Amino acid sequence: MSLFRKDTATRQITSFIKNIFGFRPKHIDIYKMALIHRSSSVNDEVGGRLNNERLEYLGDAVLDLVTADFLFRKYPLLPEGQLTEMRSKIVCRENLNALSRRIGLDKLVSIDAHVHAKSVNGDAFEAVMGAIYLDLGYEKTKEIFIQRILMTQLDLESLLAAEKNFKSKVLAWTQKRHLPVSYLHEEVDNQSKKLYKAILQVDGKPVAEGLGYTVKQAEQAAAEQYCAETIDS
């Protein structure tokens, strides 16, 4: 039995999946759930709360595997370190957020109007990939992501050539000026998901802050802010 009514949203999501990913969903409820931010959670038949967090978790793992598989086959001579960096550039939150806006996924996400989450659109894209995996299986998901996203929606060569390691950029900039760099870390109260704050210190002074679901993400976010406000300004 469907937990969602067949309404305008159903038609919009079905049309979106068909236009962007090239197929008609078998189980539309999975995709509807993939587009529900936890701030707009709905109740299931036994009082549970439904949102896209579990699908996001699954989609994140699927994207990592599909992208790693693609890069491993496309660049057979590259060492592990370079393959890892290339994968990170493709699946990083900044790129997935931009991709979601470009394909119009952001317009379908259900989120409380008072919530401002920078990663909501990238999270939704991961959740949709998790939904596709559950609906169609791994091989079809891999084919769709490579053909419909990597090869058509992303400028892969420009993306892979771009500087995305903001921590390395900060380190290189400060080393030239003989300035010590360090990061302080705090855990942030964020309901169901553990969130970290990283405080970037240059020459012993706090200069930027960043949030992330891992310490590494938080440090990259802080370094990105410092690059935007100081190094690249």
pLDDT in tens, 142-158: 999 999 999 998 887 77
Active site residue 60: yes
Q: Are 172 and 193 in contact (CB under 8 A)?
A: no
* Whether pLDDT at 230 is above 60: yes
Beta bridge partners of 195: 188
Of 53, 56, 106, 126, the catalytic one is: 126
Q: What is the mean pLDDT of residues 87-110?
A: 90
pLDDT band at 6 (very low <50, low <70, confident <90, very high): low
Q: For residue 130, what pLDDT is reported?
A: 97
Active site residue 112: no
Of 53, 56, 60, 219, the catalytic one is: 60
